[in-house]
Structure 1
Amino acid sequence: MGTDVTELTARAERLRGLHHGTMLVLPNVWDAASATIVAEAGFPAVATASAAISAMLGYPDGEAAPWQEMFAAAGRVARAVPVPTTVDAEAGYGMRPHEFVDQLLETGAVGCNLEDTDHRAGGLTDAGVHAAWLAAVRSAAADAKVPIVINARIDAFLPTSGIPEPERVAETIRRGRLYWAAGVDCLYPIGVRHRHDIATLVTELPGPVNGNTGEDLDLATLAEMGVARVSYGPRYYRAALANLKSSIQETGLNTEKKR
């Protein structure tokens, strides 16, 4: 393990504590440079975005990138900053719980997102099966003596889930309660766009809720509703690329004008 267990434990407890109190805002990063920018801006933790890292490495999102490359990138992020790092580990890459925890801790990270989409079969993983896997990850973390922070992503609101829209709130609550009982620290119903849905989920889910900003869901609104954590996925990575594209195109236009 690259970092001392005592230090990893302290970082994990610090990250867990950030889910209780002032809303934790996490502008997701994809490399050491972006992580440094976020940490230097005063954010108390850093979170990676799998879609951004996969794209940076030249792979599609959805566990198409080898886990070794994803974890290597996460390690560079964790080493670059003095604050706790949490890794978007997709659905766990088919790894066994103890292997997953050992490799996560080897990066220096102390938290992870784990989603319930089955990227090989398509659709959602059976909720009971996923809850058992999450419980095994929690047990593996206890064996490693580092209480990693598990953010259980619930994908029922995603179109790929196959869940009809009228059933998404109820299915998210059902899954969230199972995952909470398995020992996770935060519940992340990704893709929720309406205030009444997120308000219901904050009320009905048993633990801290990770939300996303949207057209009528700004940070102030999410905080007022009781959302504990907000993440941005690959949004900033895509904005950075859009800015690069615009700048490059402008450079090309200026070059043409000078000819």
Structure 2
Amino acid sequence: MPARPQDAAAFHALHKELLLLPNAWDAGSARVTQDLGAKAIATSSAAVAWSQGYADGHHFPPERLAITVADIARVVSVPITCDAEGGYSDDPKQAAANVLAFINAGAVGINLEDGKQPHELHLKKIEAIRNAVEKAGVNLFINARTDVYLKQLVPAEQAQAETLRRAAAIKAAGASGLFVPGIVKADEIKAVVDGAGMPVNIMARPGLPKLDELKALGVKRMSAATSPYTIAMAALIASTEEFLRDGDADALWARRGTPPDYNKLFG
């Protein structure tokens, strides 16, 4: 199902306040996330890859991601933003073509990261994607991710200035928002928010200020990233270890809690 213009407009509007995004990895996790009150669905590239037996980091075939987005679009009614890693290509034109496939599957937003690739390549990809989606008539929310903090691309004392330097170029290239995973200190968050000139997204990590303070600092988006997936897998590991060790049917059943009626949910 191609991306709907009304979903794109709605997703942009959600960044007027602090948007909380618990990341999903398939249709089932996306629908449950929506039913719990999420205003939009975000995928996690790592969680999507891991759930299908691939490593994160451009190892996941982009055509499979398009299928995953389409599966999610079939069962949810809120906007979808897709973690597109680095566009799954070092060729800006191919990255743009991949993103168009995600849009045709139903996404109205993407994350696009720089990682340890050259900053200039990141900019070229943003420009290519912006040009491609404008020709397609889609107001795509390009959430440009810089890993200056997360991957320590520069010494710690230079991270704030380098992030803002990249933010200015990212905005000029056509990004809609700035994603700065790894930043946790309130004063640095405030400086980046004030200097970015576009909505700032952070990643949920230990040590972050509490929600009310993040709102006061001006943060417009917080992603759960891989945490929902790893929490789900932790429950699987614990329950399976216990079952294989003890074969206790009662204990296994007790771990189920009170699940929703999945047949009704997806019927």
Amino acid at match of 1:178: A
2:192 to 180, 201, 215: 201
Report how far residue 51 of structure 1 moved: 0.5
Q: Deviations over 1:179-198 (max 9, x none)?
A: 11122111001111222221
The answer as to whether partners of 2:199 and 2:221 remain within 8 angstroms in 1 is yes
1:63 to 37, 54, 58: 58
Amino acid at match of 2:32: I
The answer as to whether partners of 2:21 and 2:224 remain within 8 angstroms in 1 is yes
For the residue of structure 2 that corresponds to 1:87, the secondary structure is strand
State the partner residue of 1:47: 42
Instruction: Give the paired residue count.
Output: 246
For the residue of structure 1 that corresponds to 2:189, the secondary structure is helix
Report how far residue 47 of structure 1 moved: 0.2
TM-score (norm 2): 0.86
State the partner residue of 2:10: 14
State the partner residue of 1:124: 117
Distance in 1 of aligned mates of 2:153 and 2:9: 36
1:227 to 219, 229, 245: 219
Higher relative contact order (CA 8 A, sep 6+): 1
Across the aligned residues of Structure 1 and Structure 2, the Cα RMSD in angstroms comes to 1.9
State the partner residue of 1:106: 104
State the partner residue of 1:89: 84
Amino acid at match of 1:48: T
Paired-residue identity, %: 35
Report how far residue 257 of structure 1 moved: 11
Distance in 2 of aligned mates of 1:29 and 1:101: 18
The answer as to whether partners of 1:213 and 1:219 remain within 8 angstroms in 2 is no
**Residue segments in structure 2 that go unaligned for 5+ positions in a row:** 251-267
Are 2:144 and 1:138 aligned? no
The answer as to whether partners of 1:124 and 1:155 remain within 8 angstroms in 2 is no
For the residue of structure 2 that corresponds to 1:19, the secondary structure is helix
Report how far residue 98 of structure 1 moved: 4.5
State the partner residue of 1:178: 169
For the residue of structure 1 that corresponds to 2:78, the secondary structure is coil
Amino acid at match of 2:54: Y
State the partner residue of 1:120: none
- Which runs of 4 or more aligned residues in structure 1 lie more than 4 Å from their structure 2 counterparts after TM superposition? none
Report how far residue 112 of structure 1 moved: 0.3
